[in-house]
């Protein structure tokens, strides 16, 4: 069997674990509690934690040394992200793993010089502005418009499901600069400070408790220098960023299965020679295999990135498997828990710490966050299997 985890990677992981074990316990505990409550964006303690890692040279594991990284491969970066997630600590999800690499590939030299040092220092946090109320994940239908006015663009519109919009420093904003009938060929991508005049943010709390936002843009002026790539050609940068984003869905099912196994073990459900115990052991074994498949999907993507490729259909397959597996694990757990499974996260009486209940409540987001599963199936069919549109 071919393996990409060799002595170098195992030593890297040992060094990383030793470093993490030596961090300030108070900072780690506060960050973990914050991250379990809302893992989508680092907040106060998460930002402190990431700046600590940055100061110690542990952010940007796979970033080139010219941009302040360690210059390691994406395999080490994958190990880094997995280890951080296993400890329920932030790994710089969108900003470090998505925006930074996309800027390296598609940003201007001035944009790289401006943003990359601040990203790898943990000083900047990006939120992503793609979805709109009437367009959903169909980015080709977006209506937020950017009109050129001299050396600036004037932007008007509304975005929705901007996770972290209330804590981010900058906005990765898709806007229409061409005609509506041009679809994705008339879209441009911009970087905008979240405190720019004309931006207002409304919080949204989802049924799973995740905090997201709606962002309104009213005559927001953006220098043309903050456009990524050429006018009307932002689609390529959006696709590139989404592919990076979908490759970092991998470790949550593992953690949720651990919660389920811990609870079932504590209840004695896995013990004894009964049909029920055997059936549950079989189901848990199936989930454990599926979790490892999920890890292999992510590792395959990391291998492609290490080879200089950007996964596309592979990233979509990873994202679908990840989301549906999380739902299967939480379903198994709540079938076992029964009526007590309605006790919400935060209650001391919630079985498995309420994590399974919370996971199932959040599951609808997993179907469309990062692009709906239906769109991912189209990408797999067209780009992975070569089927006609």
Please answer whether residues 93 and 49 qualify as being in contact, where contact means their C-beta atoms are separated by less than 8 angstroms. Answer: no
User: Which of 245, 252, 256, 357 is labelled catalytic?
Assistant: 245
Cα within 13 Å of Cα(347), Cβ side: 12
Give the span between the Cα atoms of 23 and 30, in whole angstroms. 12
Give the span between the Cα atoms of 226 and 151, in whole angstroms. 10
Give the span between the Cα atoms of 244 and 284, in whole angstroms. 30
Please answer whether residues 322 and 290 qualify as being in contact, where contact means their C-beta atoms are separated by less than 8 angstroms. Answer: no
Give the span between the Cα atoms of 285 and 279, in whole angstroms. 10
**Is 245 one of the annotated active-site residues of the chain?**
yes
SS3 162: coil
Give the span between the Cα atoms of 304 and 187, in whole angstroms. 28
Distances (CA, A) of 354 to 32, 333, 347, 368: 16, 11, 8, 23
DSSP letter at 146 equals E
Q: Residue 284: which residues within 8 A CB-CB, separation 6 or more?
A: 257, 260, 261, 264, 270, 332
CA Rg value for the chain: 21
Q: Which two tokens stand for residue 241?
A: 């960023």
Following DSSP, what letter does each residue of 99-136 receive, concatenated?
IHHHHHHHS-HHHHHHHHHHHHTT---EEEE--BTTTB
List, in sequence order, every residue forming a beta bridge with 220; answer none if it has no partner: 155
Longest dimension (CA), the chain: 77
Active-site residues, by number, are 245
């Amino acid at each position: 069997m071919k393996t990409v985890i060799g002595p170098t990677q195992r030593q890297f992981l040992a060094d990383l674990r030793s470093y993490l074990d030596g961090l300030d316990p108070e900072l780690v505990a506060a960050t973990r509690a914050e991250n379990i409550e809302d893992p989508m964006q680092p907040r106060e303690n998460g930002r402190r934690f990431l700046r600590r890692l940055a100061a110690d040279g542990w952010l940007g594991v796979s970033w080139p040394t010219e941009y302040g990284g360690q210059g390691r491969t994406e395999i080490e970066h994958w190990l880094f992200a997995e280890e951080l997630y296993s400890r329920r600590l932030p790994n710089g999800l969108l900003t470090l793993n998505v925006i930074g690499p996309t800027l390296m590939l598609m940003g201007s030299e001035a944009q790289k010089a401006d943003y990359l040092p601040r990203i790898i220092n943990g000083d900047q946090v990006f939120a992503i502005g793609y979805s709109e109320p009437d367009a959903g994940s169909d980015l080709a239908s977006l209506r937020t418009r950017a009109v050129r006015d001299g050396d600036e663009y004037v932007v008007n519109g509304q975005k929705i499901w901007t996770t972290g919009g209330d804590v981010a420093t900058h906005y990765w904003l898709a806007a229409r600069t061409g005609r509506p009938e041009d679809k994705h060929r008339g879209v441009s991508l911009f970087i905008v400070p979240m405190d720019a005049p004309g931006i207002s943010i409304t919080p949204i709390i989802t049924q799973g408790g995740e905090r997201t936002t709606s962002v309104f843009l009213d005559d927001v002026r953006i220098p043309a220098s903050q456009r990524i790539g050429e006018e009307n050609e932002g689609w390529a940068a959006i696709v590139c960023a989404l592919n990076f984003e979908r490759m970092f869905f991998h470790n949550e099912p593992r953690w949720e299965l651990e919660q389920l196994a811990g609870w079932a073990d504590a209840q004695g459900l896995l013990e004894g020679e009964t049909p029920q115990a055997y059936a549950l052991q079989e189901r848990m074994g199936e989930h454990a295999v599926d979790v490892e498949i999920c890890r292999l999907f992510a590792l395959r993507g990391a291998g492609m990135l290490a080879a200089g490729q950007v996964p596309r259909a592979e990233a979509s397959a990873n994202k679908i498997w990840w989301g549906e597996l999380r739902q299967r694990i939480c379903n198994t757990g709540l079938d076992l828990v029964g009526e007590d499974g309605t006790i919400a996260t935060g209650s001391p009486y919630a079985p498995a710490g309420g994590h399974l209940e919370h996971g199932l409540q959040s599951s609808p987001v997993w179907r469309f966050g990062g692009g709906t599963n239906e769109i991912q199936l189209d990408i797999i069919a067209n780009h992975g299997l070569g089927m006609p549109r």
